[in-house]
């Protein structure tokens, strides 16, 4: 498939991934690449267009990130956003200086030329600014397309090259016509045809899996979450019985989770499903372990050991499939010609395949989370699974604060089930990004009937976020919270107090451990 790729040069913007998501939403394939990607490599990749992201630097500083200047001579359309605009303007003869009035937040854009790049924009619209520098025209090579009250050169184009620049951020929701501006650049300027469709991705990926695997078998680690379930469904569609799924029940799952996985993949998909009951092993290993990091390390170690043992029982297995997503690849420094710095080492990238001697298959590595959900829908996975909230790898171990015991986990499961049930029945589940119950390592005095109690306290946590890097607490209605509290205290023996977490991220994190 001709993907007509767009390359997004990352100059350190906090919105770089958001630019990529917006481009994908317009059915155009794109990839983030390092800012200093050589022009020769750009030519090899044969993109339809380039987008230079924003960034925190100033182009006139000696240490400012630059691009290969030969890129400007390739004839490939370029859109510079904020710092990206400063860079192309600076490199092609215009002057960039500190602004007399810095702009952070909303501004009114006045359009002077609503054609081509800005076709269809109204005379005035709201845009989102975040800059301390701006272009001061000192070259006749650029034409002014739009301005704000404090930024005359808010949108420009080069008179002889297909190069455009905007001072504001079209990728954020606060810019009213941002989607149209990006669409104009992709379609009108770059000539893209919106070929990035999910069904096309499925057909291409299935063909690639079949060609790579041949007659060998592929092992897929199932967790019950969205990513691993979509990988499993894709493998089963591609190679059927050659795929073997391993599900490790570590005793740290939500109520009914193991049975749901068994029903879906064994009964519905008729998969070769290996269910490993390792609850005793994990709970024994976690006895008296209360430190969050030690919990994670202990769970990770035993998961690998259990998985390895089961994997070796599957004959002719040569490949291991993982649900690595594009953000994981970017953050691990592994994107094709991607950002040079490793932000973090992701648990899906490396490790287990090498230990087992398997080759790695990552069919989702080009997708963002929202695209994975769309893929799950296309593959026929249940809506409840596709739109499931994220669940941490260590499971309930990091939501059962303090020591972990079977009894404490059962209290947490029952409370969590009530919370999620009420969220789904009320319609609030889809309005929140993540919601769960935390069992606190404290007990409090209460009164039930005529007797004094000294029992557990639980915390409800619900957040709203676009990227999980920052999050705000969900403003659930007070009467709704009261209903949940009453149900938990009445129905879950061992709980006599319910609190609601109203911390945002930062300074707090979404999970408590």
Question: Among all residues, which ones are annotated catalytic?
Answer: 82, 169, 171
Distance separating alpha carbons of residues 80 and 479, to the nearest angstrom: 49
CA distances in angstroms from 243 to 204, 231, 316, 319, listed in the order given: 18, 11, 11, 9
333 labelled ligand-binding: no
Q: Which residues of 330-368 are buried (b: 16+ CB within 10 A; e: fewer)?
A: bbbbbbebbbeeeeeebebbeebbeebebebbbbbbbbb
503 labelled ligand-binding: no
Cα atoms in the Cβ-side hemisphere of radius 13 Å centred on 56: 2
Place of tokens 């069904």: 199
Place of tokens 């043992």: 309
229 labelled ligand-binding: yes
The Cβ of residue 1 has, within 10 Å, a number of other Cβ atoms equal to 12
226 labelled ligand-binding: yes
- Cα 364 vs. chain centroid, distance in angstroms? 12
- 114: buried, middle or exposed (CB in 10 Å: 19+, 13-18, 0-12)? middle
CA distances in angstroms from 491 to 413, 438, 484, 496, listed in the order given: 12, 16, 10, 10
Distance separating alpha carbons of residues 206 and 204, to the nearest angstrom: 6
Q: Break the chain down into helix, strand, coil percent, rounded to 5.
A: 35, 25, 40
228 labelled ligand-binding: yes
224 labelled ligand-binding: yes
Cβ–Cβ under 8 Å, residues 463 and 446: no
Structure tokens at 148: 């704000």
Residue 48: strand, helix, or coil: coil
Binding residues for ATP: 223-229
**Annotated binding residues, as ranges?**
223-229
């Amino acid at each position: 498939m001709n993907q007509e790729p767009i390359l997004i040069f990352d100059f350190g913007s906090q919105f770089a991934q958001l630019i990529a998501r917006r481009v994908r939403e317009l059915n155009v394939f794109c990839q983030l690449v390092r800012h200093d990607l050589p022009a020769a490599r750009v030519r090899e990749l044969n993109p339809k267009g380039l987008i230079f992201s924003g960034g925190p630097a100033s182009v006139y500083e000696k240490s400012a990130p630059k691009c290969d200047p030969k890129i400007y001579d390739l004839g490939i359309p370029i859109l510079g956003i904020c710092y990206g605009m400063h860079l192309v303007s600076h490199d092609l003869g215009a002057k960039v200086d500190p602004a007399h009035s810095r702009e952070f937040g909303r501004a009114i854009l006045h359009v002077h030329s609503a054609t081509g790049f800005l076709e269809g924009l109204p005379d005035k619209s709201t845009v989102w600014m975040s800059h301390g520098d701006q272009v001061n025209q000192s070259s006749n090579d650029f034409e002014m397309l739009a301005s704000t009250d404090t930024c005359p050169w808010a949108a420009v184009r080069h008179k002889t090259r297909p190069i455009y620049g905007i001072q504001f951020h079209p990728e954020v929701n606060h810019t009213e016509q941002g989607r149209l501006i990006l669409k104009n650049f992709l379609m009108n300027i770059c000539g893209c045809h919106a070929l990035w469709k999910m069904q096309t991705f499925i057909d291409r990926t299935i063909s690639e899996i079949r060609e790579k695997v041949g007659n060998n078998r592929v092992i897929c680690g199932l967790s019950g979450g969205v990513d691993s379930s979509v990988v499993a469904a894709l493998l089963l569609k591609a190679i059927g019985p050659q795929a073997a799924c391993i599900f490790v029940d570590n005793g740290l799952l939500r109520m009914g989770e193991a049975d749901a996985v068994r029903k879906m993949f064994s009964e519905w998909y008729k998969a070769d499903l290996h269910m490993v009951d390792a609850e005793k092993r994990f709970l024994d290993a976690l006895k008296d372990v209360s430190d969050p990091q030690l919990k994670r390390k202990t769970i990770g170690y035993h998961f690998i050991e259990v998985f390895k043992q089961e994997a070796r029982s599957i004959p002719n297995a040569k490949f291991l499939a993982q649900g690595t997503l594009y953000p994981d690849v970017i953050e691990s420094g592994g994107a094709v010609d991607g950002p040079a710095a490793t932000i973090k080492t992701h648990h899906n990238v490396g490790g287990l395949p090498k230990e087992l001697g398997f080759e790695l298959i990552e069919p989702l590595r080009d997708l963002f989370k929202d695209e994975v959900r769309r893929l799950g829908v296309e593959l026929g996975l249940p809506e409840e699974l596709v739109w499931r909230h994220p669940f941490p790898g260590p499971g309930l171990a990091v939501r059962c604060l303090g020591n972990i015991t079977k009894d404490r986990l059962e209290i947490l499961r029952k409370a969590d089930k009530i919370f999620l049930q009420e969220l789904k029945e009320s319609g609030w589940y889809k309005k929140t990004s993540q919601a769960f119950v935390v069992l606190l390592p404290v007990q409090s005095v209460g009164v039930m009937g005529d007797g004094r109690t000294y029992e557990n306290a639980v915390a409800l946590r619900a957040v709203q976020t676009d990227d999980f890097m920052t999050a705000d607490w969900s403003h659930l209605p007070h009467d709704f919270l009261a209903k949940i509290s009453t149900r938990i205290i009445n129905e879950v023996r061992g709980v006599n107090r319910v609190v609601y977490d109203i911390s945002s991220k930062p300074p707090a994190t979404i999970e408590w451990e």
